[in-house]
Structure 1
């Protein structure tokens, strides 16, 4: 009889086990989950900002300051927030003051958020991009908060389409 060449069942199982081990250890290196994590973090920050702005607007409405066009403060020290048209201003004394532990994870994009007037914007990004100018933030991962003006409430937008 002629002996046929081939693999035994044991050899096939060993090869499959080795391939499985390689897949488990190598796959995470090929999958880039950082972009998804950054997008999720920005979505979380957006939710925190929307919640904080809503709470501040409610307090401003109770105090009758929701239609004032000049910047004012609301709350008691050390929890004061600067507002315009009832919403936090686009400054560190405004919207940033509504976020607890802001400096642990986030930074203000360099050269934004210096004015407290209505309709102005502030851009927030990850702490690792500290002191990075707006045009060169890696991957363009940032959030833009626009202060309220006479016709529009405060607005939050995320720029993270290439956040990889």
Structure 2
């Protein structure tokens, strides 16, 4: 078994080539990091926007069911309280699917409910929420949100 080796052939990468590749990867990582650093805040905002949409849809469906049969007090097995034909603040979380491990429901008086993403600090909770205020006489419920401290 006679094997001949070509001494001029390169068998791998040189140290300089490896260092250049590592430096290029470091530069790419440093420029991409700020882009991805604040994704948790954006995710919280998107989650709260989805929660508002869920509350809006649930309130509209409950209102429609109430208009058809005003003696309705249950929607898909969930007991619903009504105020002026719309769900009360105390029950909107149940029928919209927001009472879970993802949101913290905080009553605001007797006619409103704030929903915060779970895991926020007390300072973040001040301005990272979506709020449902039950319907006043002759009006639909109102929705408000603040995303200032979600990041």
TM-score (norm 2): 0.73
Q: Distance in 2 between matches of 1:137 and 1:24?
A: 32
Query: Which residue of structure 2 aligns with residue 81 of structure 1?
Result: 80
Q: Deviation digits for residues 16-53 of structure 1, max 9, x if unmatched?
A: x3244225555565421111111000011011111111
Equivalent residue, structure 1, for 2:102: 105
Superposed displacement of residue 80, structure 1: 1.5
**After superposition, what is the alpha-carbon deviation per residue over 1:57-112, rounded to whole angstroms, capped at 9, x for unaligned?**
010010146xxxxxxx6226832111111111111xx2012123622211112xx2
Counterpart-to-counterpart distance in 1, 2:124 and 2:45? 15
1:95-154 alpha-carbon deviations (Å, 9 max, x no partner): 012123622211112xx2562xxxx21111112249x5xxx4446211110100113201
SS in 2 for 1:45: helix
Tell which deviates more after alignment, 37-46 or 73-82: 73-82
Stretches of structure 1 lacking an aligned partner (at least 5 in a row): 1-10, 66-72
The runs of at least 4 aligned residues of structure 1 exceeding 3 Å deviation read 11-14, 23-30, 136-139
Tell which structure's C-alpha radius of gyration is larger: 2
After superposing the two structures, state which structure 1 stretch, 149-158 or 50-59, moved more.
149-158
Aligned pairs for 1:137-152 (under 5 A) are: 137-138=124-125, 140-152=127-139
What SS does the corresponding residue of 2:41 show, helix, strand or coil? Answer: helix
Unmatched segments (≥5 aa) in structure 2? 1-15
